[in-house]
Amino acid sequence: VNMRASTRERERLLGGDAPPGAGGGDKRWSPYEVAWTAGDPWRTWAVPALAALSIYLFLRGQTSAMWVARGGTDVAVSGRKPSSTVASVSYNLPDTVLELFRSREHLLGALVLVFSGIWPHVKLASALFGWIVPMNERTRARWLSWSAALASWSFFDVVVVILCSLSLRASVHEDIAGLASAGFTVVVRPLAGTYWFCAAVCLSSFASDLAVTHHASLAREHARGPDPGETTVEKRLCTEWNAAGTVYKKRPTVRFAVYAALGTCAALTACGAVSPWATARYRLPVFNDDVRLSDRRKWTVAIEDFAVRGDERRIVPIANDVDAATTKASVEAMVNLLDAAGELPEVPSIPDAS
């Protein structure tokens, strides 16, 4: 208690004109200005240069094609030459967000827009603000520490990119009583934009950590001195860290909140490991209807309305380059054969909202 009182007394007597290490916490300075005055070009320009390069890489990655989706159908009808159709579509980040909103995936689209589109630039602007704008040491230390901590969470952007590359893959193959077979495949591969984006995430995290390190070294070497009665600044910093640890140990509410958060994360991880990841819906030209792929890890496939819907006979073309009359005759023969054998399967119903 006496030490706290003496510290407040020193701050009252010395005021804002004293160096922060001597008890004054209101002296405003910027690492950029201190490094420039000290003639240190590396620490003057390192953080701004890395931040500018990170912004360029983010913009390059977000506007370049990040994924390419290649897919097509393979169709073989008895007595006819197999036919194939192939299509290729590339996506960048804006296209991906728009496609998610068009697919009514508003939550996922908003998450990708905010955390992969907007937040990377906000965190870099925050680090530059703390580096250039004058403020007292305590405020800047907290500002830069929070910026660096939040920048580390940006590695989840890389996870999102990987999940987008994996979750959009599908492979469906159906054999129809030996008379016809149809297959549908979609493969998504990363392009240059993905690698630009991942490099920008790593570089921005390094820039934020470098800002914290350079701020501490500049404060120690040029902007302050040790507390009265102490020989080094590191001793005072170590004392503050020990005091923080002591306060943490004496606060059961904080300790309980940390343990509860860890337990919740473990429980959610366990639930996610055994639950289906996603449900994707594809429209096949071959079937002219929706195909739903549920839980990619189990490859559970349900096809709705193939060739028949209840008692309604609806003949669909198998492929564009196959003669329509031959196709219709083949499918009709297949349906008649299944009806005669009593083996027409029950077609599952799939709701519109997946």
Tell how far CA 103 is from the center of its chain: 19
Say if 54 falls within a structural domain: yes
The three-point CA angle 134-135-137 to 5° equals 125
In a domain, 349, yes or no: no
Is 346 within a domain? no
Is 14 within the bounds of a domain?
no
Look at residue 238 and tell me if it is in a domain. Answer: no
- The total of structural domains in the chain comes to 1
In a domain, 7, yes or no: no
- Asked, for residue 314, whether it belongs to a domain, the answer is yes
What is the chain's pLDDT, residue by residue, as a tens digit (354 residues)?
A: 344 434 444 444 333 434 444 334 457 778 888 888 878 888 888 888 998 999 999 888 888 888 777 766 666 665 555 566 666 667 788 888 888 788 787 887 888 888 888 888 888 888 888 888 888 877 888 888 888 877 777 777 777 666 666 656 666 666 665 566 666 676 777 788 888 888 888 888 888 888 888 888 887 776 555 544 555 544 444 334 343 444 445 566 667 777 788 888 788 777 766 665 555 444 444 444 444 443 333 332 333 333 333 334 333 333 333 344 444 455 455 555 545 544 444 444 444 444
Residue 350 is assigned to a structural domain of this protein: no
Biggest CA–CA distance in the chain, Å, is: 102
DSSP character string of 210-273 = HHHHHHHHHIIIII--PPTT-S-HHHHHHHHHHHHHHHHHT-HHHHHHHHHHHHHHHHHHHHHH
Which range marks the domain in which residue 126 is found? 27-223+252-341
Is this model's pTM higher than 0.75 or not?
Answer: no
